[in-house]
Amino acid sequence: MWVTLVAGFMSLLDVTIVAVALPTIQRDLGASPAEVQWVVSGYALTFALALVTAGRLGDALDRRRIFLLALSAFVACSALAGAAPGITWLVVARLAQGLAAGCMAPQNSALIQQMFRGPERGRAFGFFGATVGVSSAVGPITGGLILALASGPEGWRWIFYVNVPIGVLAVLLGRRLLPRTRPSGKGEVDVPGVLLLGAGVLAVMLPLVQAEAGGLRRLWWLFPAGAALLGVFTFRQRRVLARGGQPLLDLRLFTQVRGYAVGAGVGTLYFVGFSGMWLVFALFFQDGLGYSPLRSGLAVTPFAVGSAAAAVVSGRLVDRLGRLLTVCGLGGVLIGMGATALVLRFAPESAATWLAAPALFVAGVGSGSVISPNITMTLREVPVRMAGAAGGALQTGQRLGAAVGTAALPGLFYLLLAGDEDNFRNALAISLGAALLGMAAALCLAVADWRRDRGSGKHAHGAGEAAGDAVRSGRSRAGRT
């Protein structure tokens, strides 16, 4: 369990840890702002592109082998990124690193599905959810700390090198400790489906990851093109299933497995606000208040502490409370972040960080009660043979939500500053308010699901079990189990 969590933590941490080092990388390598932006956005792009396909390959072939190969590639690409003599080398290494991370990520949740049952699975997903939430929150802190310790113009290289010893140890322990797995599905892979899904996700994400370089204005036409490609992908998956073939993504996950569709929707909407607000905080503390990268990261530490503690505890409560736990968590995030926005807007600058700490802690506790339970409720009733593709699809939605948030919220922040360069506090408060809109939409979806559970009088676990049985029996009738 800990081998997979360490690997997952590294891959998700690398989404945000590099952001604080971008100014140093740009100066040291003589890169343009558009080139250096690809160091972050290129990783996020290839990460999202690989998720569903890698999950399906793990289901069809061997999850353990794919996990270890992807982890080894991630470590090698980290070393190449750290040794990059120029910006082109660095961007290519980051693209390959994101691809390796995307191949590794769905195997984590699939191995949990395969290795744990009953209450143990809830606890395991609790740790997994903590890893997802905390890795994103502590990225700026970790990056600032590494830059503070590795002094000099090339200190940024240690942001990548730090993955190497940890990753090598994880590979060695993984080879020894991870149980060998047998394929839980047929070995065939829907290649046209892979191409359609990859092209669709690329078309939707490319304008978003290039937003700071004018991507939304230049590449807006890719949004309808991506929607059309994803529509064709959905149609093809239905046709493949109707013919008795093996689809890349079994759409019955969304229609017959209790909680999967709602959980995927809650995760996508939540990550719109959750991912975007960290960049807004970094801009506010560093550009507005003149904090160093380390001090900027430490300012949001109460959120990370609350999130880590709550995620582990909530993994044990999810079986008893079900969707109500997510509803309460989302409410806590809305209250805590709303209070944080007000404090940072109106409190004296000298004391604003300290006064905002309790509100950030409350928001962190709420977040830990959202991400971990939502992952558990979304994936726990998925048949094991579909676990990789299901985990990949769930994380693809989260990556898309994160791409929207990281494009929209900093853009709004800069737009609000355009008329008044000194009005950082007002820009922060309004941008955080916009982030809360996505979380409020997730809350509405979670409340509707909770009320439906109460109205039906069914425990979510039992309902999900019946749905999973329906998927399995449908596969049996088709002669494919």
Which class for 213: exposed (0-12), middle (13-18), buried (19 or more C-beta within 10 A)? middle
The pTM assigned to this predicted structure is 0.78
Q: Name which of 114, 400, 81, 88 is nearest 267 in CA terms.
A: 400
* Integer Cα distance of 343 and 169 in angstroms: 43
What's the pLDDT at 468?
45
**What one-letter code names the amino acid at 283?**
L
Instruction: Calculate the dihedral angle through the C-alpha atoms of 44, 45, 51, 52, rounding to the nearest 10 degrees.
Output: 150
**Can you tell me whether residue 31 is helix, strand or coil?**
coil
| 3-class secondary structure per residue, 76-90 | HHHHHHHCCCCHHHH
**What one-letter code names the amino acid at 348?**
P
**Can you tell me whether residue 9 is helix, strand or coil?**
helix
Alpha helices in 17-32 (DSSP H): 22-29
CB 80 within 8 A of CB 362: no
What's the pLDDT at 475?
45
Provide φ and ψ at 337, rounded to 5°: -70, -35
Residue position matching structure tokens 């582990």:
312
* Integer Cα distance of 461 and 318 in angstroms: 10
Residue position matching structure tokens 């140890």:
169
* Integer Cα distance of 172 and 66 in angstroms: 15
**Assigned token pair, 53:** 């396909």
What angle (nearest 5°) sits at the alpha carbon of residue 9, between those of residues 5 and 15?
155
pLDDT tens-digit series, residues 283-342: 788 778 888 777 877 888 898 888 878 877 877 787 788 888 899 999 999 999 999 999
Domain positions in the chain are 2-181+248-476, 190-247
The whole-angstrom distance between residue 253's C-alpha and the CA centroid of its chain comes to 20
What's the pLDDT at 257?
79
pLDDT tens-digit series, residues 338-397: 999 999 988 888 888 889 999 999 999 998 888 878 888 888 777 777 777 788 788 778
pLDDT tens-digit series, residues 79-125: 999 998 888 899 999 999 989 998 888 888 788 877 887 777 777 87
Given this structure, which CATH class describes domain 2-181+248-476?
mainly alpha
**Assigned token pair, 90:** 């660095």
**Can you tell me whether residue 248 is helix, strand or coil?**
coil
The residue ranges of DSSP E strands in 198-300, in sequence order, are: none
The whole-angstrom distance between residue 63's C-alpha and the CA centroid of its chain comes to 20
193-198 long-range contacts, Cβ below 8 Å, gap at least 24?
Answer: 193/233, 193/236, 193/237, 193/240, 193/247, 193/248, 193/249, 194/53, 194/248, 196/229, 196/230, 196/232, 196/233, 196/236, 197/52, 197/53, 197/230, 197/233, 197/248, 197/249, 198/49, 198/53
In eight-state DSSP terms, residue 180 is P
The whole-angstrom distance between residue 15's C-alpha and the CA centroid of its chain comes to 9
Instruction: Calculate the dihedral angle through the C-alpha atoms of 272, 277, 282, 288, rounding to the nearest 10 degrees.
Output: 130
For residue 198, give Cα distances in angstroms to 57, 106, 152, 280, 357: 15, 16, 40, 29, 41
pLDDT tens-digit series, residues 18-70: 877 777 888 888 887 777 778 877 887 888 888 888 887 887 778 888 899 99
CB 367 within 8 A of CB 333: yes
What's the pLDDT at 339?
94
H helix or E strand, kind and range, residue 327: helix 323-346
* Integer Cα distance of 47 and 69 in angstroms: 15
* Mean pLDDT computed over every residue of the chain: 81
* Integer Cα distance of 168 and 319 in angstroms: 36
pLDDT tens-digit series, residues 172-210: 998 898 887 666 555 567 778 888 888 888 888 778 777
